Amino acid sequence: MSDLSKTIPLRGLPVSHMLLALAVVAVWGTNFVVIRVALDDFPPLLFATLRFFFALVPACFFIRRPAVRWHSLAAYGVLIGFGQFGFLYIAMNGHISPGLASLVIQSQVFFTIGLAMAFTGERVRSFQILALLMATAGILIIVLHGDHSAQPLGLLLVLIAAVSWAGANHVAKASGATNMLAFVIWASLFSIPPLLIGSLVMEGLPAIHASLAAAGPGAWGAVLWQSVGNTMFGYGAWGWLLSRHPAATITPTAMLVPIFGMGASALLLGESLPDWKLFAAALVIGGLGINVLWPMASRITWRRGAAS
């Protein structure tokens, strides 16, 4: 296997590295099914609190705090904790299906571009406008076909989660962090308090106590899947790949997250995939693809022209 991985590149990657990238996006995509199942045992904000507690402990005793300012860790922790996952978990607690949640949350890419324009003066390019229009059309189709799989409240909450994720991306980039695994682990210190307070206020101590007392191995396994699978394995492996390959080679695989999410939800939870939902997914993923792949194709074309 080692000889094969060294001799057969796939999209510029050794086979073993490509399989690792696919494993990461598979974990991130199928995670939406895990979230939905776990919400049968834990209230949303308590579940998010547990996720970030076990992302912090015991890893913080073995992984050093990154050399960034505390306020960067705090801002990221609040945005990614309460802002992204708090709202996402509430949305998925009966307001939107796992498959559609995995798709709509990818709109964070366009919110990230918008924040870059607002704070750094980055100019929007024509292909980005096209990509945004395609993705927006896909989300509008979901809105117009609103049913039990995508209630208006659920869509709104997931879009708020996407905006929060975009804000967290901006904070992480501005912080200068180079080790995202350490950054996410230590930022979890600031994710926990607002989520716990929110759980106490919105869900109540009796519900918290009852869910903790009744939670079985499957529920706690879902918590560990969130903390260890998504955080430790996901960010660790992704960072390892990015340290060895150009970002343009690795990041396109992230577009497979909603495909894994929708596929796993259909296979494991029986989520229906009517034509309108597949068309909406094609528009959103197509928009993401244009945004990621257009610059890469332009650079390749330019280099070939310069070489000739």
| Sequence-ordered list of residues with C-beta below 8 angstroms from that of 230, at least 6 positions apart, any chain | 27, 28, 31
Mean pLDDT of the chain: 89
Residue 59 lies in a domain: yes
Q: According to the model, what pLDDT value does residue 5 have? A: 41
Residue 7 lies in a domain: no
Say yes or no to pLDDT of 9 above 60: no
Give how far Cα 200 sits from Cα of 45, 204, 209, Å: 9, 5, 10
Residue 4 lies in a domain: no
Report whether 35 contacts 98 (CB < 8 A): yes
Q: According to the model, what pLDDT value does residue 306 have? A: 57
CA distance linking residue 112 with residue 169, whole number of Å: 7
Summarize the confidence of residues 143-162 as an average pLDDT.
89
Say yes or no to pLDDT of 6 above 60: no
Q: Which residue has the higher pLDDT, 301 or 180?
A: 180
Give how far Cα 139 sits from Cα of 136, 271, 280, 283, 293, Å: 5, 18, 7, 8, 21
CA distance linking residue 143 with residue 4, whole number of Å: 47
- DSSP category for residue 65: P
Report whether 66 contacts 247 (CB < 8 A): no
Q: According to the model, what pLDDT value does residue 8 have? A: 38
Model-level pTM?
0.90
Residue 10 lies in a domain: no
Split into its structural domains, the chain has a count of: 1
Summarize the confidence of residues 183-187 as an average pLDDT.
95
Handedness of CA 159, 163, 165, 169 (dihedral sign): positive
Summarize the confidence of residues 157-185 as an average pLDDT.
93
Residue 87 lies in a domain: yes
- Count of C-beta atoms within a 10 Å radius of residue 90: 24
- Domain span at residue 295 reads 15-307
Listed in sequence order, the DSSP H helices in the chain are: 2-7, 15-38, 44-56, 70-78, 87-92, 98-104, 108-120, 126-144, 152-175, 180-202, 205-214, 217-224, 236-242, 247-250, 257-269, 275-307
Of 294, 302, 287, 298, nearest to 108 by C-alpha is: 287
pLDDT in tens, 31-81: 999 999 999 999 999 999 999 999 999 999 999 999 999 999 999 999 999
Summarize the confidence of residues 244-273 as an average pLDDT.
88
